[in-house]
């Protein structure tokens, strides 16, 4: 793997329902990190996709009266539409029904079997169809239900293949101890170490009479490979394992598997053990984020609180997806749970983007038009390219540590600073008093700060950053220029560049300007 590459993955989503804000939260965070890594000069590969096999999908398709393949084909399009709307710039959308994925899963199975790590056993246990896994009594709540799905698991008795997970307990513990950042946030690492204390072998197949929708076990047509072996293998399929070795060697091991906290055991224990068995290097890091709740309640179809990105687009007549991207990345410390409410969404987007940032850009450009005929003025005392260098470094550190909320707060502090310069120095007074040198210094400084803010915010708000860039007078789109992090402090806005005032970059939500319908 090259030092200059960065491979980041999302969990792949079950296709038993359309995507909602919970799905979007993880995908946006991954996109933000991928865009940031491109800013710092990395060659990035961003993988996302869908998990299409297993009991849940089979049952959902049967209830709809369609085949599992028909069902998955339809739902995949829903996910792709949502991710296109949210401006996710992924490199591959992998499906576990892809032909190259079947080949990888079979190859991985054969490697583990050849190592003596897979054997057939008779088994009776509790199976949670929602989790797609066997569970024990200690995994259940006081009512004997799965805490994630609020229903009792079924008793399953069948002959399955087992993976000797317990064989890798010591190796997994040693890896965790020698790589303290293997699982983040830190408190999730503590959880994994506790899980490792009671490690048991796991069933890695189901009889086809129980579930037929999946990849058959090699040389045993009566068995179907366990959905989690199937799903986890997507991370190596997606970059060419067994097919494009140059691509695989370029990007593996993954720098980050971005996942939800509910699937931590599979990624931090099952997946590394499987890779150890197959003698494939382990990923560098697993980041387990929290949930986005709706009004402090977990997103649930049964509760009826599912909110999709398109719900918000229509409800607020959003001109682009950046209000959703910004809000989800700033609603909570990344890694902890966050709670979405429509009122909070509206208030935060209006305060930070429409009022603070939007008003700064709008009034600065208006004054540039009024005082300098719409051109960036020559400055005598401003220091182009080194403004706010310490703050830019802090933003870099925040992005790199998945502290998206902190990064946004630091960037908005630059906006606050620029607004304060205008309020304190009163450019209208400087103009009236004929202090044109001081006025030019001030306006140049604020315009340069806006240029920096456009780049700094671009991982989170790429569309708004493009709009700011255009209004600052640049001809090419910021996103097409592929700027580098050093450009923030080592480049500067050209003197004489003609600005391109086009009005508010984001009308206030629920205002008379907030959408075509309201404008009419």
Give the residue numbers annotated as catalytic, written as ranges: 20, 23, 128, 131, 146, 149, 298, 301
Burial of 487 per CB tally in 10 Å (0-12, 13-18, 19+) = middle
Query: CA-CA distance, 15 to 51, in Å (whole number)?
Result: 7
Distances (CA, A) of 21 to 83, 183, 274, 336: 11, 24, 31, 15
CA-wise closest residue to 227 among 175, 184, 266, 278:
266
Check: CB of residue 187 under 8 Å from CB of residue 152: no
Edge-first strand listing for the sheet containing 133-135? 133-135, 118-128, 154-163, 202-203
Using the CB atoms, write b or e for 316-345: b if 16+ within 10 Å: bbbbbbbbbbbbbbbbbebbeebebebeeb
For residue 462, say if its preceding peptide bond is cis, omega within 30 degrees of 0: no
- Residue-wise over 239-269: b if at least 16 C-beta within 10 A, else e? bbbeeeeeebebbbbbbbbbbbeebbbbbbb
In this structure, the strands spanning 5-10 and 43-51 are parallel
- 243 Cβ neighbours under 8 A, 6+ residues apart: 100, 103, 104
CA atoms in the 13 A half-sphere facing the CB of 22: 23
């Amino acid at each position: 793997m090259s030092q200059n590459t960065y491979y980041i993955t999302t969990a792949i989503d079950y296709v038993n329902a359309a995507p909602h804000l919970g799905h979007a939260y993880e995908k946006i965070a991954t996109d933000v990190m991928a865009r940031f890594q491109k800013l710092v000069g990395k060659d990035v590969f961003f993988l996302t996709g869908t998990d299409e096999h297993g009991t849940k999908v089979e049952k959902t398709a049967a209830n709809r009266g369609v085949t599992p393949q028909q069902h998955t084909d339809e739902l995949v399009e829903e996910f792709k539409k949502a991710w296109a709307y949210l401006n996710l710039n992924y490199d591959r959308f992998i499906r576990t029904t892809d032909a190259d994925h079947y080949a990888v899963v079979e190859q991985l199975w054969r490697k583990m079997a050849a190592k003596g790590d897979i054997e057939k056993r008779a088994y009776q246990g509790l199976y949670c169809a929602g989790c797609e896994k066997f569970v024990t009594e200690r995994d259940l709540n006081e009512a004997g239900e799965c805490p994630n799905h609020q229903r009792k698991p079924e008793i399953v008795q069948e002959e399955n293949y087992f993976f000797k997970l317990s064989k890798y307990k010591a190796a997994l513990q040693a890896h965790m101890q020698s790589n303290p950042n293997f699982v983040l946030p830190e408190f999730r690492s503590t959880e994994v170490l506790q899980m490792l204390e009671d490690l048991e072998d796991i069933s890695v197949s189901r009889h086809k009479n129980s579930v037929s929708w999946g990849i058959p076990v090699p040389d045993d047509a009566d068995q179907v490979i366990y959905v989690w072996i199937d799903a986890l293998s997507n991370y190596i399929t997606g970059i060419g394992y067994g097919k494009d070795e140059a691509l695989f060697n370029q990007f593996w091991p993954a720098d980050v598997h971005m996942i939800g906290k509910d699937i931590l055991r599979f990624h931090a224990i099952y997946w590394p053990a499987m890779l150890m068995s197959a003698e494939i290097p382990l990923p560098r890091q697993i980041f387990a984020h929290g949930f986005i709740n709706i009004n402090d309640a977990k997103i649930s179809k049964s509760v009826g609180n599912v909110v999709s990105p398109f719900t918000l687009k229509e409800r607020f007549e959003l001109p682009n997806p950046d209000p959703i991207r910004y809000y989800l990345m700033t609603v909570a410390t990344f890694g902890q749970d966050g709670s979405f409410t429509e009122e909070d969404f509206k208030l935060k987007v209006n305060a930070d983007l429409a009022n603070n940032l939007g008003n700064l850009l709008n009034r600065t450009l208006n004054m540039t038009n009024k005082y300098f005929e719409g051109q960036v003025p020559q400055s005598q005392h401003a220091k182009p390219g080194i403004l706010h260098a310490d703050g830019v470094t802090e933003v870099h550190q925040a992005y790199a540590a998945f502290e998206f909320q902190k990064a946004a707060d630091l960037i908005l502090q630059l906006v606050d600073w620029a607004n304060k310069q205008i309020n304190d120095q009163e450019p209208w007074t400087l103009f009236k008093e004929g202090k044109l040198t001081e006025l030019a210094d001030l306006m140049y400084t604020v315009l340069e700060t806006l240029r920096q803010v456009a780049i700094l915010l671009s991982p989170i708000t790429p569309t708004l950053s493009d709009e700011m860039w255009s209004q600052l007078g640049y001809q090419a789109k910021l996103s097409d220029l592929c700027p580098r992090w050093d450009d923030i402090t080592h480049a500067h806005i050209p003197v004489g560049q003609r600005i391109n005032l086009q009005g508010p970059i984001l009308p206030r939500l629920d205002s008379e300007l907030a959408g075509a319908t309201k404008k009419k």
